[in-house]
Structure 1
C-alpha cells in the first residue's frame, strides 16, 4: 500500500470500547493486523463532557500506536425535513471544545459525517427509486414541499448546507472534515442527483450533489460496497476522476469502502457472501481496489465498515 494511502475503520460500538481496556486492546490489535491507519469513532453530540477521561485515554493509546482518531456522527434526523442540523453542529462545537481542553496526543484529528438522505422508516421526502427527471412537478405530489421535485431539491440542499457549516466550523480550528457518501449519486436510476447550490447568489450552480460536496470536505468516502472488487472500483471512478481535476489545494482525498456486516445483502457485504466471509479475502480485495485506483492522485485509500462486524469475521 502506498504511503499516501490510508485504511480506515468505522467504530459504532464506542461505548463498549471506551469502557473497557480489554476491548480497546482488541481494537488496536485488530486495526494493526488489518493495516488500518484511521479510526472513525462514533461520538454522540452529548458524550464529550461525561466521557472526556475515557476519550483521552483511548485517543492517547491509539495515537501512541500510530493511529489517527476521527470523531464520527450522523443521523437522518439531522436533515431539514426532520429535527434539523442543530444537534449535529452542537456535537462539532463540543468536539472543538474537547480538543482545546486536552493534550495534543489526546485530540481528534478530524470529524467524519455519515448523513444519508434516502428514505427509510418514517422519512419519505427523497422519493426512493425515482430518477430526477421522473419526479413529479405536480402541486400536491410532495410530502414536505409542494412537489416531489421540490422535496428532493430541498433535501439535497439541506445535505449540503449542514456540511458547509460543519466545514467552516472544523476548518476554522484546523480540523479535517470527511463525509461518507452513497456511491449512486452519479447513477441514481440512471441519472446523477442534481441540485442548485448555494441556494442563492452569484455562485449558484446546478450540478451533481457529489460535485458540490467535493468542495466542502477533505475526505470523500464513497460507500462503494460490493464484494467484486472490480465493481467496487467502478463505483468510485466517477468521483475520483472528478476530484482529479480539482485544484490541488482544495482537492479532497477520495476513498473507497467495503462492508463486512452480516444482514446487509449478498454481494454487497462480505459477511453475507459465500466464499468471501473471511478477513483474508477482504484484505486481498482491498489490495485489489487500492492497486486499481492508485493511478489517480486523488485516491486516498479504503475504509472498512465496521469494527464490531470485522471482529466477528473469521480469519
Structure 2
C-alpha cells in the first residue's frame, strides 16, 4: 500500500510537466533563417534536430519574396527538399506569409488586395505541383493592420473590415483551388475587445476571424499563465468561442526582449517557462479548441533556451 501511495504522489508531481510536453508546439520562422534552411542542407538538418530536441511539431516557414528572391515561385525544389526532410522527422511545415520587408500590413487596403491574393496563390500553386510528402501542411498569415500609420480610433474599424474582407478573399481562393490545407492568421488577443458589423453579423473582431478561418494563432504575449493580465485570461474568450464553433486556437508566446517585461519570457529561465506552459496545458489540454503553442520566433526561442543557431548573427562565434 505504501508503494502505491508513493507512485500516486510521484504521478501528481510530474503530471503537469508531462502534460505540457504533450502539447503541439510550433515556431514562427522568418525570412533569413527560413531561406538559410532552404539553401543549406546542413543548416536544415541542424534546425530540424533542434526542433526535435525541443518537441516542436510544426514549423511556420516563410514562403514569400525577400531581398529580391522568391524561391517558392522560382526554386520550388528547395521547399520540396526541406519539407521532405521535415516530414521524415514527423514535423509539419506551414507556409508563413506576411512580412515587414514587404510591408504586408498594407494588404488590408483595397488597392493592395491583389498582392494579398498573390501571396497565397504562390503557396497554392506550389502545393498543386508538389508530391504529397513535399506539400505544405497549412498556412499562417501575419497581416497586422494596427502597424499602419493611419491606424487610430477613427480608422481602426475600416482597417479591420479590410482585414476581414482580405481574409474572406484568401479563404475563397483556397476553396476555388480545390485544396484543403488549413489557413489561419496571427491575431492579437485584444481583438476580442472590438465589436463591429461584418456581412450582416455584429460580433467581436476575434469572433469574425475565428468564423472565417480554420484556426487562429493568438498573439497572447504574456509571461505568466494565471491571474489578471495573463495568458489564460487573455485567451479565454477566444477559446470559449472556438469551442462553440469547432475551431482551434494556438497560443502564441514571445521570447524576444521587449518592454514591458510582461510581454515576453525573455530574462526568465526555461524551467520557469515550462512551469507556465504546464499551467496553460493543464487548463486547456482537454479542450478541443486548444491547438498547443506557437513561439515567436525561431532565433529568439533558440537564444532563450541557450541553444543558439550556428548562423545566428547576434550570437558571437565560440572561441
Which TM-score bucket, shorter chain as reference?
Answer: 0.7 to 0.9
> Which residue does 2:160 correspond to in 1?
156
Question: RMSD value over aligned CA atoms?
Answer: 2.0
| Structure 2 CA distance for aligned equivalents of residues 264 and 58 of structure 1 | 35
Note the C-alpha offset of 1:87: 1.6
Task: Please point out which of 208, 222, 232 is paired with 1:212.
Answer: 208
Note the C-alpha offset of 1:37: 1.1
Gaps of 5+ in 2: 1-18, 99-103, 307-319
Note the C-alpha offset of 1:47: 3.2
Note the C-alpha offset of 1:51: 2.8
Query: Does structure 1 conserve the Cα–Cα contact (< 8 Å) formed by 2:21 and 2:55?
Result: no
> Which residue does 1:225 correspond to in 2?
221
Change in Cα spacing, 1:115 to 1:29, as seen in structure 2 (3 Å) is same
1:253-268 equivalences in 2 (<5 Å):
253-263=248-258, 265-268=260-263
Task: Please point out which of 260, 273, 286 is paired with 2:277.
Answer: 286
Instruction: Give the number of the structure whose residues are more often helix, by fraction.
Output: 2
> Which residue does 2:181 correspond to in 1?
175
- Partner SS state of residue 112, structure 2: coil
Task: Please point out which of 290, 295, 300 is paired with 1:304.
Answer: 295
Change in Cα spacing, 1:111 to 1:264, as seen in structure 2 (3 Å) is farther
Matched, 1:124 2:149: yes
Matched, 1:66 2:94: no
1:78-117 equivalences in 2 (<5 Å):
78-80=107-109, 84-117=112-145
- Partner SS state of residue 118, structure 1: helix
TM-score (norm 1): 0.80
Structure 1 runs of 4+ off > 6 angstroms?
Answer: none
Deviations 1:133-156 (A, max 9, x none): xx5xxxxxxxxxxxx2xx222211
| Structure 2 CA distance for aligned equivalents of residues 73 and 265 of structure 1 | 27
> Which residue does 1:77 correspond to in 2?
106
TM-score (norm 2): 0.79
- Partner SS state of residue 124, structure 1: coil
| Structure 2 CA distance for aligned equivalents of residues 78 and 4 of structure 1 | 36
- Partner SS state of residue 146, structure 2: coil
| Structure 1 CA distance for aligned equivalents of residues 278 and 198 of structure 2 | 37
Residue correspondences, number: 272
> Which residue does 1:132 correspond to in 2?
none
> Which residue does 2:57 correspond to in 1?
37
Deviations 1:140-193 (A, max 9, x none): xxxxxxxx2xx222211110011111112224411111111001112xxxxx21
Gaps of 5+ in 1: 128-134, 136-147, 187-191, 199-203
| Structure 1 CA distance for aligned equivalents of residues 113 and 49 of structure 2 | 35
> Which residue does 1:239 correspond to in 2?
238
> Which residue does 1:195 correspond to in 2?
196
